[in-house]
Structure 1
Amino acid sequence: MFTIQLNKMFFYAYHGVHKEETIVGTNFEVSVSISFDANKRVEKLSDTINYVSVYEIVKLKFATPEKLLETLAQNIAAAIYLIDNRINNIKISIAKLNAPIVNFVGEIGVTFEENY
């Protein structure tokens, strides 16, 4: 089994339940891990999961505002799973870097993991 990772992808997007989040937007950090079975030696792109395809899916899903990060993570995982039936696990972490919480310094986030 292999696990590919796309770590620390940054997006500016408009996800959130507060009106100002959907107008002003904020920065997000995303990491994705995908485990898959390789039935043979991995020597060409078709033997693995295409990193570019995964990145394009994440970028596309980030362009559609969601109220909850949980929903966004589930949508990303579902879309990634559709690209390759060898996938047996997807883990997605999304951090909102500037959460609109009074006197809060830090980041908030979710991690979603699905086994297939």
Structure 2
Amino acid sequence: MIKVALEGAEFFAYHGFYPEEQVIGTQFLVDVQVGFDADIYVDEDNLHNTVNYEVLYAIIEDEMSNTRKVLETVAQSILNRIKTEFTFIETAVVTICKQRPPFRGPIKQSVITLSYTK
């Protein structure tokens, strides 16, 4: 199994259930990890045999720019697009961390994780 990941991709976005969250916005961190069969990766120096980081980042960036009320919806959209772009992946994990969510007390982040196994 080969694993390819982007960790700690930072985005300022306007996701949130409350209207003020969609106006003020906040910082998010996104981690994405995908896995695929090593047999698919033939010993060639070719991006078509692996998951291209640049494409992976573009998918995440695009979905983070679409404001939604629930982070699970954002994660599912990221996952759906990754599965469409890289049909050979067998596993994927998308984690979104909302920095300093709006609670009465100090909280570093809220986190959702969505996993996929073919």
Gaps of 5+ in 1: none
Aligned residues: 116
Say if 1:83 and 1:101 are closer, same or farther in 2 by CA, change over 3 A. Answer: same
Gaps of 5+ in 2: none
2: CA distance between counterparts of 1:36 and 1:96? 28
Q: TM-score with structure 1 length normalisation? A: 0.95
Q: Which residue of 1 aligns with 2:60?
A: 58
Residue-by-residue CA offset, 1:3-49 (whole Å, 9 max, x unaligned)? 00100000000000011100010000010001012322252111111
- Return structure 1 stretches of 4+ with deviation > 2 angstroms: 38-43
Aligned alpha-carbon RMSD (Å): 1.0
User: Would the aligned equivalents of 1:42 and 1:48 in 2 still touch at CA under 8 Å?
Assistant: no
Q: Which residue of 2 aligns with 1:21?
A: 21
> Taking every aligned residue pair, what percent have the same amino acid on both sides?
31
Q: Look up the equivalent residue of 1:79 and give its one-letter code.
A: R
Which of 61, 73, 76 is the equivalent residue of 2:75?
A: 73
